[in-house]
Amino acid sequence: MIAQYELYIILSFIIFAIGAAGALTRRNVIVIFMCIEIMLNAVNLALVTFSRMNQSLDGAYMVLFIMAVAAAEAAVGLAIFILLFRKHGTLDVEKFSLMKW
């Protein structure tokens, strides 16, 4: 019989795999960014599950910290996307040559 905690861990793994697949296969920067956010939420689910398994609040504290960092990341990411769109006229990853020589 599968325990309830194992179901949450399996769900977390599935959500993380969906986010990773989306981040690796998509070409739009905003979609890649959303997939990374999905991966962060999968990690948050796993941390909360492990925290409940051990009856500790350490995982919940880490989740709050990760959510605060993700909110700041979203604000900075949106500003970068606006600048990239203004400069290049598109958000297609293949069109950017910022990291190339």
- Of 10, 33, 9, the closest CA to residue 22 belongs to 33
DSSP of 35-85: HHHHHHHHHHHHHHHHHHHHT-SHHHHHHHHHHHHHHHHHHHHHHHHHHHH
**Looking at this protein, which amino acid is placed at residue 93?**
V
User: Which pLDDT score, from 0 to 100, does residue 93 have?
Assistant: 77
Q: Could you report the per-residue pLDDT of 36-69, keeping only the tens digit for each?
A: 999 999 999 999 999 999 888 888 899 999 999 9
pLDDT at 98: 59
Domains of the chain in sequence order? 4-95 (1.10.287.3510)
Residue-level pLDDT at 7: 93
Are 2 and 25 in contact by the 8 Å Cβ rule? The answer is: no
Residues in contact with 43: Cβ distance below 8 Å, sequence separation at least 6, in sequence order: 12, 16, 66
User: For 88, what's the count of Cα atoms within 13 Å in the CB-facing half-sphere?
Assistant: 16
Cβ contact 78:84 at 8 Å: no
